[in-house]
Structure 1
């Protein structure tokens, strides 16, 4: 084998190793998974409120373990991935439906956190709360690559169930919303802006990453 053939062989191996289409689920299966995952139900909203209270307690106590537990049970990411599917497929009714559902989840989350922090005897912001008020470039990287990992895991034939929990922890959608609730309950508007911005950064770059992968998978467009 000459050098040129060897280089071509290496390129083929790398192409196969990193191909997103090799073990990709069918387009119908991807659509079903993502849209089902974004459906808002009474059960999902109850779980979301529980997750917000747990995360708020964790932030109030500066307990990283409790915060991680809350992020693991939060159903909020499903709406972002479903919205990305609606955007890439030009299915605007789906996009509007899941964006409105996402907005409702945000409103309920912030309301639950606000009520908790209004009733909480601990009024001083903890280190964990303050950490959610200063977004950085690293937060963008974490959200983007976390979103890539999440959508890749969701679009495989053998869906990798361990990916989404890991992405939920890494991208940390819940703590900034809890911090927004703390800010409203205690009149800390300076913290509200930082926490809200961090949440929007996380949500947007997860959405963007999902759109990129779904485009590469050539998701069919609605006519």
Structure 2
């Protein structure tokens, strides 16, 4: 080779430089000691877990991002997760066991404490902050991986201030608190979605931290077989997580595109001065349901029919459209001004409707109006009724139905006093009475307790099956024979 020709790039030279200049500057013993100290079970870890879980749950119920961020900063879960990642890199099974034990105990305590708070809270509705943590997607996995790279670098380079930002980015405690909310309210959609988000963050952080540790020379004494096992574990786990998260992201993207196309299609039916307001889209079911309000200077006959046909062609799916045209008039009132005025009037109407609902629920339930919980955003109201003279479960259910009929579009939950007597379930043509089953289901959902069904086996089996099919935790208990079976609360 001529002397003036540049030498070929050698990967080994870069690797030697990395080992000498970068890996050689890391105090591996001190870093491992710090990781072990932060990843174990201590009284401080228990206290901070309880505090973080409580603050996170209250922030979620209040839908307060600032409070939720405070819980992220207090959460000590990052320590055991980083410890688990380093133990994978080092094949240190003792540290792996200690980290997993601390992580499992912390997660269980956080979930149970959050569930306890929800159980005694008058607010048990799914807020925007809770809903935001029930639908993880591929972007959440990418955020967790990038944050874990920053976290691993901060631990190895002893830049502990960076951990604050990583804690906010990965948000380990709020998903656990949301799991507790789903457990307390028996909302398994919330429970499963939040649990998947927590597991995604956990595995992404642990596995990425393990990779970072190996890059910086931790576990350099491992055999090639152990290294291949580590690589296989990391790739397989991240790939398994990426599949369901990618499908969710695809669905979210499709819904966003459909919303944009729906808005454009409806707007095309009117003049340019028209403005679309209050666009609501429901994707559940075969047909997409759309409701829209359009502020327009001129009324256009047949706009709804034309929009439906255009949407069906563009989206290639059935569409149900409810289109309201609000004439802005001629003169100085523009569509934008009319839109703002309508928003103000809508806000005032919502406030008045919520106040009327609160007063009526308080009167019917026999409690102070302050005991009524109203979620205007999700149009839900909850009240725990006081014991009323001679009232049965049927009485409370009828009161709830009466209020619901008076306030269309609201979800009303009137919770009867605890442990009221459940009805005897009689049979007609060897089938349990549907009305009695409906009442037991309603009471079980409001009370949040399992139900015990007592009677002969040939009678209790169909009752238990009917209740379980409707989501009630029902348990059969042997008892005396008769025409009906006795329903009771399965609690001490």
TM-score of the pair, normalised by structure 2: 0.41
Q: In the TM superposition, what are the counterparts of 1:1-223 in structure 2 within 5 Å? A: 21=22, 24-156=25-157, 159-220=158-219, 221=221
Asked if 2 retains the 8 angstrom alpha-carbon contact of 1:86 and 1:92, the reply is: yes
CA distance in 1, matches of 2:42, 2:5: 59
**Aligned residues between the structures:** 214
Measure, in 2, the Cα distance between the counterparts of 1:4 and 1:147.
39
CA 1:24–1:127: 2 relative to 1, 3 Å: farther
Given that residues 52 and 113 in structure 1 are in contact (C-alpha distance below 8 angstroms), is that contact kept between their aligned partners in structure 2? yes
Residue 101 of structure 1 and its aligned partner are, at CA, apart by: 1.3
How far the C-alpha of 1:161 sits from its partner, in A, is 2.4
Q: Kindly indicate whether the alpha-carbon contact (under 8 Å) linking 1:20 and 1:217 is maintained by their aligned counterparts in 2.
A: no
Larger Rg: 2
Q: 1:207 to 1:24 in 2, by over 3 A?
A: farther
Write the distance in 1 (CA, Å) between the matches of 2:76 and 2:39.
8
How far residue 195 of structure 1 moved from its aligned partner, in angstroms, is: 0.5
Gaps of 5+ in 1: none
Question: 2 CA distance for matches of 1:20 and 1:61?
Answer: 50
> Are residues 143 and 45 of structure 1, via their aligned partners in 2, closer, same or farther at CA, if it must alter by over 3 Å?
same
| Alpha-carbon distance in structure 2 between the residues aligned to 1:76 and 1:115 | 20
**Maintained 8 Å contact 1:135/1:198:** yes
Distance in structure 1 (CA, Å) of the matches to 2:46 and 2:167: 17
Per-residue CA shift, 1:23-71, capped at 9, x if unaligned? 8531101101111111211121111101110011111111111111111
Q: Secondary structure at the match of 1:21?
A: helix
Q: CA deviation at 1:107?
A: 0.5
RMSD over aligned CA atoms reads: 2.6
Q: Contact 1:113–1:178 (CA<8 Å) still a contact in 2?
A: yes
Q: Relative to 1, partners in 2 of residues 1:31 and 1:124: Cα closer, same or farther, differing over 3 Å?
A: same
Secondary structure in 2 matching 1:125: coil
State the alpha-carbon separation in 1 of the partners of residues 104 and 113 from structure 2: 14
Shift in Å at residue 160 of structure 1? 1.5
Q: Name whichever structure is richer in strand by fraction.
A: 2
Partners of 1:24 and 1:108 lie apart in 2 by: 39
Q: Tell me the TM-score normalized by structure 1.
A: 0.88
Secondary structure in structure 2 of the residue aligned to 1:149: helix
Larger helix fraction of residues: 1
Q: The residue matched to 1:132 in structure 2 has which SS?
A: coil
Query: In the TM superposition, what whole-angstrom CA distance separates every residue of 1:76-121 from its partner, at most 9, and x where no partner exists?
Result: 1100111111111111111112111111111001011100111111
- Deviations along 1:112-164, one digit per CA (max 9) or x if unpaired, are 110011111111110000110000111001110101100101111xx212210
Taking structure 1 as reference, are residues 175 and 24 closer, same or farther at Cα in structure 2, changes over 3 Å only? farther
Q: Distance in 1 between matches of 2:131 and 2:149?
A: 27
Residues 23, 217 of structure 2: 8 Å contact kept: no
* Alpha-carbon distance in 2 for matches of 1:23, 1:67: 40
Runs (4+) of structure 1 moved beyond 4 Å?
A: 2-5
